Amino acid sequence: MREQLEALRAAALAELGDRASAEQIEAVRVRVLGRGGELTEVMRRMREVPAAERPAIGQLVNQVKREIESRLEALQERQRAAALARSLGEARLDVTLPGARIPRGRLHPLTLVMEQMLDIFASMGFEVAATQDVEDDFHNFEALNFPPDHPAREMQDTFFLPGGMLLRTHTSNGQIRVMQHRKPPLAVVCPGNCYRRDELSVRASPMFGQIEGFMVDRAGRVTMAHLKGVLSEFARAFYGPQTAVRFRASFFPFTEPSAELDISCLLCAGAGCRVCKQSGWTEILGSGMIHPNVLRKVGYDPAEYQGFAFGMGVERQALLKLGVDDMRLFFENDLRFLGQFPSFAARSAS
């Protein structure tokens, strides 16, 4: 039995040389130490050993087992270290290299422009109200004092929907929607999309954004002077403090008197150029004192209440502000174009 153990040990250790492969090491482990392995077999036969010799043989068994085990472990450890060294050598990792860039989404320039405009009105105390794109004739036209034969009501201008509804042609429906349900004092801006039967072109789009705004209070408390103050303040906050403004008499069915606001041309600073058609001015919005007929339609007594309203196109402001010369660029979703305004939000906040 003793000789057998020693032979077993010698054979195993001989196989577990420094060059043994992982497979060889595993094969020895299974053959010697495994369930039905050689050493297990010897231990099963301990009964046959005379009682007097048993402790000595038992000790020898344990010693052989420990020796083989520790040799196995040493070899495995050495192989792990070698594998690690190999992989470190192969795939050198330079932690100072710049990381892979993950392309990040960003807000559309029209969204940024819209947000900045709303921020300016919010800073003057206006609240923001969302109103509906699918509208009826009353809120889009009738309550806004459009006569029944007004050209804007024609099929060429308006998208009519089955069932008598239409897509709003301006956000002025927001005025009516909000005033119908609330009482003055009110200072509200209604941002949203509008729709007209226009072909997409350099200057026009069948869908476009607008911001409608209005302020109403008891008669005498909100006047044309407030209209001028609020809109001049907006123009300078949005286009820069050096921007000159002028109000020009105009006409809208829902305001009386009506005025359009021009700003000094951003390209030539008023000197006159191709973009401002040599006038030095660019129109940015329509406005006026809310027509008494409009107030009546929402149940306000024009003798008791008074206010002003204004409306402006978002794309138009974006073209001017960002120096873009073609409206279509905003709708093509070409990332090379959209990516040109990444710091716009950060800049506008300062």
- If the CB atoms of residues 34 and 147 are measured against ligand DAH, the closer one turns out to be 147
Residue closer to ligand DAH by CB (options 116, 175) is 175
Q: Residue 288 Cβ, how far from ligand DAH at the closest point, in Å?
A: 4
Question: With contacts defined by CB under 6 A, how many residues of the chain interact with ligand DAH?
Answer: 11
CB of 275 to ligand DAH, least distance (A): 21
Nearer to ligand DAH, 308 or 330 (CB): 308
Q: How far apart are CA 55 and CA 167, in angstroms?
A: 101
- DSSP letters along 280-340, please? SEEEEEEEEEEPHHHHHHTT--TTTEEEEEEEEEHHHHHHHHHT---GGGGTS--HHHHTT
Of the candidates 104, 101, 109, 102, the residue with the CA atom closest to the CA atom of residue 337: 109
Shorter beta-carbon distance to ligand DAH: residue 109 or 286: 286
For residue 255, the surrounding DSSP H or E stretch is strand 255-264
Tokens of 233: 């303040």
**Alpha-carbon radius of gyration of the chain:** 42
Smallest distance, Å, CB 164 to ligand DAH?
Answer: 21
Alpha carbons 340 and 122: distance in angstroms, whole number: 27
Instruction: Kindly indicate which of the ranges 99-107, 239-247, 309-317, 319-327 contains the residues binding ligand DAH, using the contact rule CB under 6 A.
Output: 309-317
Measured CA distances, 79 to 30, 86, 143, 191, 219 (Å): 18, 10, 87, 69, 92
> Of 158, 205, 282, 287, which lies in the binding site for ligand DAH, with binding defined by CB under 6 A?
287
Residue with the two structure tokens 């270290």: 81
Q: Pick the closer one to ligand DAH by CB: 255 or 306.
A: 255
Q: Least distance in Å: CB of 342 to ligand DAH?
A: 31
Q: Which residue of 174, 191, 307, 311 would you call a contact of ligand DAH, by CB under 6 A?
A: 311
The CB-nearest residue to ligand DAH is 311
Phi-psi region of 162 (alpha: psi -120 to 50; beta: other; left: phi over 0): beta
| d(C-alpha 343, C-alpha 350), whole Å | 11
Cβ at position 204, least distance to ligand DAH in Å: 12
Buried b (16+ CB within 10 A) or exposed e, 23-37: eebeebbebbbeeeb
Q: Could you say whether residue 262 binds ligand DAH (CB under 6 A)?
A: no
- Smallest gap from Cβ 350 to ligand DAH, in A, equals 30
- Judged by CB under 6 A, does residue 255 bind ligand DAH? yes
Which residues from 146-205 bind ligand DAH, rule CB under 6 A? 170, 172
The least distance separating ligand DAH from the CB of residue 177, rounded to whole angstroms, comes to: 13
With binding defined as CB under 6 A, does residue 310 bind ligand DAH?
Answer: yes
3-state secondary structure of 345: helix
Tell me how crowded residue 314 is: count the other CB atoms within 10 A of its CB.
Answer: 22
Q: How far is CA 169 from CA 48, 142, 214, 313, in A?
A: 106, 13, 18, 12
**The one segment of 19-27, 92-100, 285-293, 330-338 that binds ligand DAH by CB under 6 A:** 285-293
Q: Per this entry, what is the length of the chain?
A: 350
Distance of closest approach, residue 280 Cβ to ligand DAH, in angstroms: 23
Q: Does 306 bind ligand DAH (CB under 6 A)?
A: no
344 scored as a contact of ligand DAH (CB under 6 A): no
Nearer to ligand DAH, 20 or 319 (CB): 319
Positions in 112-151 near ligand DAH (CB under 6 A): none
Contacting residues toward ligand DAH, per CB under 6 A = 170, 172, 212, 252, 255, 286-288, 309-311
